[in-house]
Amino acid sequence: MNKDANVIIDKVGRDLYILRYNDTDTKYFEALWEIPEGVTYNAYLLIEDGTAILFDTWKKGLDSEFVNALNSIIDIRELKYIVIHHTEPDHSGIIKTLYEKNPQITILGSSMANKLIRSFYGINPRFKAVSDGEVLTIGDYKLTFIHIPWLHWPDTIATYISPINTLITCDVFGAYSIPKSVIIDDIPEDYIVSMRKYFTNIIGFYRDNVIKNLDKVLSITNNKIEVIAPSHGAVLRGNAVGRAIDVYREFALKIPRDSKIVIVYSSMYGFIDSIMNYITQVLNNWGFRISVYRFTDKERSNIGDLIGDVNNAFGIVLGISTYDTEPFPLMDYIIELLIRKLRGGKPILIITDYGWGDVVPKHVKTRLEKAGFTVIDTVSINGQPTEREFGRILGVLQNLKNFK
Ligand code: FEO
């Protein structure tokens, strides 16, 4: 396959290029998240007064495609600096090859990035650790490096380039999918879903660091950002800038203003199916927006989509079958991801179904409460629910409804 066909080179400023790779091969991002929608890796290149400075690279393994793309703009021997905003190998993956082709390169990044580069790639390049707020002037351009730790790793920095008021952010403001346009001026709703999925899957665990880093960036840049250039997805410009900042604030909330309820359940033989159909109907009648994710003998939902969707939901209903005296394994895994990526906050209603042993509810309730969720109630059903049990479920749904 000619992977060079997946490369896009374009300009996002007079002297600022984007080198974008459309990755449609990776099925599981981070070997974990299903991404049938694909993902892009975006690097940026600023050329000013004969000085070339590269911001990030692409995923490890795309070396020849990256070198070809870069060579189509400059001779690699002209590259003076590479800024590594974040060392995860979907962004730093080509450093070793670039260093081998041009050992004169100076790498700029946080001091942690310095350590990580050496351990990941076994190279010993010239490295300058940039301090928080440090400025590098290249011709007419002023580059301000801003430390934004934990977005996504502790090593992370952003670069603000003035006077073009462009903020290069790596994972922050990134999204899954292969956007048709390199630059967007407005963010369509389906793209916000892609941003939220990426945020929750990747940055969700570190969500407590979002607002303070966002405020810090806005303060340092005097709220003048005109372009946001992330390392995944589209470059954001115009109306898209303010909208992205607003939705990021919303993403970081543990209990959002949304009225959506996400229902997630496993059903091995259909008992929980009937309960969840009833719950869906009741919540719909009450005016809640509902998303349903099922794990049955006929269907297996995309867990990455689920975790992204649940991020901004007001509440969650879990339907868990009992398996080997434990929660059904896929639900166990989903509960672990909810704990890690949401970090508590939301109300959760737990419905379990069992055959010969009612062993799950306490186990799950304790785990979720310990993680900071509010467990509205647990309802345990033995096989097929009775009329009386449907009545009990209606009662606990009222408690979920009244939680706000
Ligand atoms: Fe896109 Fe944390 O790497």
pLDDT tens figures, 188-199: 999 999 999 999
**Any atom of ligand 1 within 6 Å of the Cβ of 91:** yes
User: φ, ψ for residue 192 (rounded to 5)?
Assistant: -65, -35
Cβ–Cβ under 8 Å, residues 184 and 191: yes
* C-beta neighbour count of 99 within 10 angstroms: 19
pLDDT recorded at residue 65: 97
Residue with the nearest Cα to atom 1 of ligand 1? Answer: 171
Q: Which amino acid is at 374?
A: T
Residues in the chain: 404
pLDDT recorded at residue 156: 98
Residue with the nearest Cα to atom 3 of ligand 1? Answer: 88
Distance 90 CA to ligand 1 centre (A): 6
Closest ligand 1 atom to Cα of 152: 2
Domains in the chain, ordered, with CATH?
Answer: 7-253 (3.60.15.10), 260-401 (3.40.50.360)
State the Cα–Cα distance between residues 221 and 223, nearest whole angstrom.
5
Distance 171 CA to ligand 1 centre (A): 5
State the Cα–Cα distance between residues 162 and 13, nearest whole angstrom.
11
Distance 226 CA to ligand 1 centre (A): 23
Distance 30 CA to ligand 1 centre (A): 9
Distances from the Cα of 8 to the Cα of 3, 40, 182, 186, angstroms: 11, 10, 8, 21
Closest ligand 1 atom to Cα of 156: 2
pLDDT recorded at residue 376: 96
Distance 161 CA to ligand 1 centre (A): 21
pLDDT recorded at residue 1: 59
**Any atom of ligand 1 within 6 Å of the Cβ of 63:** no
Closest ligand 1 atom to Cα of 231: 1
pLDDT recorded at residue 356: 87
User: φ, ψ for residue 3 (rounded to 5)?
Assistant: -70, -20
Closest ligand 1 atom to Cα of 232: 1
**Any atom of ligand 1 within 6 Å of the Cβ of 88:** yes
pLDDT recorded at residue 255: 75
**Any atom of ligand 1 within 6 Å of the Cβ of 155:** no
Q: Which amino acid is at 34?
A: E
State the Cα–Cα distance between residues 279 and 273, nearest whole angstrom.
10
**Any atom of ligand 1 within 6 Å of the Cβ of 86:** yes
State the Cα–Cα distance between residues 91 and 37, nearest whole angstrom.
19
State the Cα–Cα distance between residues 115 and 107, nearest whole angstrom.
12
**Any atom of ligand 1 within 6 Å of the Cβ of 90:** yes
Contacts of residue 169, Cβ cutoff 8 Å, sequence gap at least 6 = 85, 148, 158, 228, 229, 230, 231
CA dihedral 352, 358, 364, 367 (to 10 degrees): 170
State the Cα–Cα distance between residues 81 and 43, nearest whole angstrom.
13
pLDDT tens figures, 12-35: 999 999 999 999 999 999 999 999
**Any atom of ligand 1 within 6 Å of the Cβ of 171:** yes
pLDDT recorded at residue 145: 98
Distance 273 CA to ligand 1 centre (A): 37
Distance 73 CA to ligand 1 centre (A): 25
Distance 104 CA to ligand 1 centre (A): 26
Closest ligand 1 atom to Cα of 153: 2
Distance 232 CA to ligand 1 centre (A): 8
| 10-residue averages of pLDDT along the chain (404 residues) | 86 97 98 98 96 97 97 96 98 98 98 97 98 97 98 97 98 98 98 98 96 97 97 98 97 84 96 96 96 97 98 95 93 97 95 88 92 96 94 96 84
